Amino acid sequence: MFLLSDNGIISFLEVNTRLQVEHPGTEETTGVHIVIEQSRRIADGLPLSVKKTPAPTAGFCADST
């Protein structure tokens, strides 16, 4: 996918629609439930509930998979 900004800069965006095995770590550190956002809201034609970039956290998440 290519994106064209308002000032004419063209950027390439790699789109990977698969839910990655690491997604629980992202959910834990951002507070965004990716499965609900991707699989339910988008699939149902609803807008995302996330309106802005989540604030950075001071914590971390370890994945043992």
The domain ranges of the chain are 18-50
Q: Is pLDDT at 45 greater than 70 in this prediction?
A: yes
* pLDDT number for residue 33: 87
**Residue 29 in contact with residue 59, Cβ under 8 Å?**
yes
- Lowest mean pLDDT, pick from 4-13, 33-42, 55-64: 55-64
Element (H, E) at 26: helix 23-30
Instruction: Read off the pTM.
Output: 0.51
Cα separation of 8 and 24, whole Å?
36
* pLDDT number for residue 60: 72
Cα separation of 39 and 43, whole Å?
6
> What average pLDDT does the chain have?
79
Confidence of residue 58 (pLDDT cuts 50, 70, 90): low
